[in-house]
Amino acid sequence: MAPTQELPDLGAAIGPIIAEAPEEHRPFVVAYAERLAARRYRAWASMATRPDHRDRLLECAEREEEIASRVEGLSADAVEIQTEFFAAHPEAEDAYASLFEGRPLSDQLRIQAAGERLGAATWRALAAGADGEARTVLASCAPLEEASAEVLEALVSEGVRASRDRVPR
């Protein structure tokens, strides 16, 4: 099934916002975005019409939470950094959510799959600029992102269906 319209670029939508964070804070800002994605996966799972699709989407949500937890574990100040950044940039969550609004589930999953691939590249780039434990932790996030992208791409090819197309925020 082809996309119903040209799909938005997640990186273009939220990349400039994330770039406003100081370089040393970016991993924690991206980790918060992983938690937003986990919520979205859970919403999709709640709408899935097949139990196996629901279960795979929930596994994706768990991977997003795992990524966030790993990264946040690098600093005792992670939550404070996230809170301050997103309080100063309330448009970030809206920018992410708006990418999916009014689109059928298959398009939403395609957008997120592209975002997961971008996420893998982002974690690798952040790892390349880090040392020691941070390098190892950040690099370990990329395969988790790719696993979720593969799940989403498979669901789209299987013709995933939803009980309703509108995903709650």
pLDDT digits (tens, 9 = 90+) for 94-149: 998 899 988 999 999 999 999 999 999 999 999 999 999 999 999 999 999 999 99
- What is the CB neighbour count within 10 angstroms for residue 114? 18
Looking at residue 116, what is its pLDDT? 97
Looking at residue 167, what is its pLDDT? 54
- Where are the strands (E) in the chain, listed by range? none
Hey, which residues does 162 pair with through a beta bridge? 48
> Average of pLDDT values for 21-25?
95
SS3 110: helix
Looking at residue 102, what is its pLDDT? 87
Matching residue, tokens 């809170």: 83
pTM: 0.90
> Average of pLDDT values for 53-62?
96
Dihedral sign for Cα atoms in the order 152, 102, 39, 130: positive
